[in-house]
Amino acid sequence: MIAASTWTLWVERDLVATIGGICLDASEFAQIYRTHFPFVRRLVARLGVLPRDAEDVTHDVFVAVAAGRGPSDPNVPYRAWIAGVARNVVREHRRTTFRWIRNLFGWSEVQPTESDGSGPENARAVSEVREMLSAIPEEQRIIFVLVHFEDWSVPEIASGLDIPVNTAYSRLRAARIAFERQVQARGAAARSAS
């Protein structure tokens, strides 16, 4: 088993070699990678990427970051811009995965079945939260996840997603309502089953 820090250093060296200075010099990229890797890794997992794919998708986010020019607006925090890149990479990963599965097996839907590594006792709860989050429309889910799991402010999210702040608040409200309805429905179903 490779220690997490050793794995991170190996992945970092691999990424620096992969990008070969596409837009950033290696030391600048290494600093961005070290600073933002834990956040990006958590974000892709919370946006619905299965644990077995999260490392690759995180890798893809940093390749896209290296190829990008950074935020076009200097007032946009770099972290918010990276969140927007991550959202786009996750969206493309999901499309590719679902297309591949549909073509290979003829399935129209894939249900998450794995835990995010928090232990077998939490696997069912993690799966239920993933199911509830997947029922929320993507434009609402990203805001809900960033506010409630990453402690972002709504104005920070709005600037990263390049949407008006009031639109972000509206989407957050709609996501909270949808999530609360799911929680209530699951609670009612559990009470009636017992």
Q: Give pLDDT, residue 191.
A: 80
Residue 115 lies in a domain: no
Q: How many domains does the chain have?
A: 2
Q: Answer yes or no: do 16 and 64 share one domain.
A: yes
Tell me, yes or no, whether 12 and 100 share the same domain: yes
Question: Is 0.75 topped by the overall pTM?
Answer: no
Co-location of 45 and 129 in the same domain: no
Give the chain's residues under pLDDT 50: 1-10, 16-22, 105-113, 115-116
| Per-residue pLDDT at 116 | 46
Task: Name all contacts of 136-142 with Cβ < 8 Å and 24+ positions apart.
Answer: 136/175, 136/178, 136/179, 137/174, 137/175, 137/178, 138/91, 139/171, 140/171, 140/172, 140/174, 140/175, 140/178, 141/47, 141/175, 142/47, 142/83, 142/87
Range of the domain at 145: 123-194
